[in-house]
Amino acid sequence: MATTDATTTDPGRIDETDQLAVPVRQSAVQPLLRLWPYVRPVRARWAGAAAVAVVASCLGLLFPLVLKWIVDGPVTDRDPGGVWLGAGVLLALGIVEALLFGLRRWLIARPLASVEAAMRADLYRHLQRLPVSFHDRWASGQLLSRGTTDLMVVRMFLAFPLTFLIVNGVTIAAGLALLVAQDWGLGLVLLAPAVPLIAVCYRFEHGYAQASRRAQDQVGDLTTVVEESVLGIRIIKGFGRHRSQARAFHELSRTLRGTELTKARLLAGILAVITLLPEAALGAALVIGTVQVADGTLSAGTLVAFLSTALALRWPIESIGFLLAMSQEAATATRRYFEVMDAEEEDPRVGRAAVEPGEGGLRFDGVEFRYPDAAEDSEPTLRRIDLHIRSGETMALVGATGSGKTTLTALVPRLYDVTAGRITLDGRDITSLPREELRTLVSMAFEEPTLFSASVAENVLMGAESGTPEQVERALGVAQADFVQRLPHGVDTEVGEQGLSLSGGQRQRLALARSVVGAPRFLILDDPLSALDVHTEAAVEAALRRVLADSTALVVAHRPSTVLLADRVALLSKGRITAVGTHHELLRTSAEYRHLMSGDPAGETREAAQA
C-alpha cells in the first residue's frame, strides 16, 4: 500500500462490508457459470469422470433387480445354486461399481488441480496490474482469503458437489422410474414429498447463501488480523499489546463461530426435513406393500426390489442438503473471486495522443489530485501544481507533514493518475507512455524501505531487471551499503520477510541502491536518508551527488543536509507550491521555509500573522 504524508482518510472512502453486500436473492448458477472458461480446457476429462460416476451409481440400481430375481426365483424354488449365482452377480456388480468410482477420482483429480492453479495465477497476475488505489481500499487478508480458501472451495465443488448433483439427479430420476414401473401406486407414495422438498430447498438456498457470504468475509477479516499481528509482532511486544490483540482475534473468532453455527443450524434443519419426509413416505410404502403381499396382489420379490430401490435412493436424496450447501459456498467463493477479477486494471497501453518531445526535464503543469475515494466536493490533496525540474537538475521538495509531498512524487510513475493537469517527461505526457516504459524511465526510493523475502542482490535488481553484478556492486557503493560484505553470504544472503533481519538504516540503504542501480533518466527519492546516522548520511550524500548529476531528480527532504544536494528547492504548503528557489534564497524570503529548516518559532509566528 502506498504511503502518503498527505491525509488520505476521507468521507468518500467506501466501507468494504457495504461494498461486498450480498444481493437480496441471487441464484448460485449465475456466478458458477463464470467458471466455464477455466473448466473448458479440461471439460472432456471432467465429463468422462461424470459419465463414469453416473454409470457406477446406476449400477447400484441393478442390485434390487437381482434381489427380486433371487427372491422370486431361487428362494421361492428352494434352489441353492441359484442363490449362489445371484450372490456372485451382486459381488461382481459391487466390485465394478467400486472400480468405476476409483476411476472417476483418478480422472478428475489432476485437471481440477490445474483449474485451481490457473485461477490462482490469474488472480495474482491481476493483483499486480491493479492500481494502487485498489490496494489502498482492500485489506490484504481479504485478498489472501480469495486466493487460498475461496479457490480451494471452488476446486472441491468442481470435484464433488457439481459431479454428484448430476450423478444423484440422474440416479434419482432412474430410481423413481424403476419404482413407478415396479408398482405405480407405491411409486406415487414415494413421490409425494417432492413438492415440499423443493420449497424447503428454495428457502434454504437463500438463507445459506447469506450465512456463507458472511462467514467467508469474516475469514478474510480474521486473516488480516493474523497477518498484521505477525508483521507487527515487534510493536505488539514492545508496547505490551498482546492481550488487546488477542481480544480482537478472539472477538472475530467468536463472530465467525456464530456464523458457522448459523450455517450448521440451517444445514441441520434441511437435513432433518430431507430425511424425515422420504422416510415417512418409505414407511407408508412399506405398510401398503406388506398389505398387498398379504393379499396376494404383490409378489414378495417385487416388494423386496421396491424397498431395496427406495433404500438405494436414500443417499442421493439425503445428500441434496450437503450438495446445496457446498454449491452455495462455491457460488459465494466464486463471487468473491470475481469481485477482484472484475476490478479495472491499469491500462498498460498509450492513454492519450503522444506529445512531441519539447522542453526537457520533468514538468508539472496545472496538476491537481484528489484521491479516488474522496468525495467530489472535497478539497483536492494537490492544487494547481506548476513546477519545472530542468533536465539534469535536482530539485528538493520541502513541506510540513501532511502537505502532500509523497502524494506528488507518486504521480510521476502513475501510481495514481492526476485529477487535472498533466505531467511531462522531456515534453512527453506521461499518459502517452506505456506504463512499462514509464516505469523504466522513472525510478523511485519510497519513504518506507520495503524489502522482499529474497537475497540482497535480488532486492537491488528489482530496480533493473537486466542489471549485472557490477551494477549491483556500484549501486551498493553509492548507498554506502558496505555492511552487505559482512553478511553470511554477501549479496546472496536472504534478508527475510520485510527485511526485518536488517536495521532500519540498512533497509533504507538497500532501497536507495535499488533506485539507482539502473542509472535511471528520472529519479524520485522520498526522504531517502531519514534513517541514517550523521556520518553515514554524509558518505551517502557524497556518493549520491555523482548519481544525481546524470539524472533529473526530485528529492523529498526534511533535513538541511539533504536539501543541499539539490540545485533548487520547491516549498509545498497545504497542497500548493508556494515558493521555488535555492536553499539560501528561500531562507531569506520564506518564513515557513526557515521554520521547517531550523524550527524557528518566530518565523512561524510571522507567517501566521501574514496569513
String of DSSP letters for 530-593: TTS-HHHHHHHHHHHHHHHTTSEEEEE--SHHHHTTSSEEEEEETTEEEEEE-HHHHHHH-HHH
Q: Strands 522-526, 552-556: parallel, antiparallel or unpaired by DSSP?
A: parallel
Which CATH number does the domain 24-341 belong to among 1.20.210.10, 1.20.1560.10, 1.10.287.370, 3.40.50.300?
Answer: 1.20.1560.10
- Report the distance separating Cα 514 and Cα 458, nearest Å: 9
pLDDT digits (tens, 9 = 90+) for 192-215: 887 788 788 777 877 888 888 888
End-to-end distance of the chain based on CA atoms, in angstroms?
35
Tell me how far apart the alpha carbons of residues 64 and 197 are, in angstroms, rounded to a whole number: 25
**Residues of each domain in the chain carrying CATH 1.20.1560.10:** 24-341
Q: How confident is the model at residue 353 (pLDDT cuts 50, 70, 90)?
A: very low
Residue 367, pLDDT score? 93
Q: Residue 77's pLDDT band (boundaries 50, 70, 90)?
A: low
- Decide which of 2 and 363 is more confident: 363
Per-residue confidence band for 446, with pLDDT thresholds at 50, 70 and 90: confident
**How high is the mean pLDDT of the chain?**
81
Q: Three-class SS of residue 526? A: strand
- The DSSP symbol for 502 reads S
Nearby residues of 439 by Cβ (< 8 Å), 6 or more positions away: 413, 414
- Residue 424 has phi, psi (to 5 degrees) of -125, 145
Q: Is a pLDDT exceeding 60 seen at residue 5?
A: no
Q: What is the pTM of this model?
A: 0.71
Task: pLDDT band for 382, please (50, 70, 90 cuts).
Answer: very high
Residue whose C-alpha is closest to residue 31's, from 347, 379, 333: 333
Residues of the chain within CATH 3.40.50.300 domain(s) are 362-610
**Highest CATH level, class, for 362-610:** alpha beta
Report which of residues 175 and 471 the model is more confident about.
471
In angstroms, the CA 191 to CA 172 distance is 11
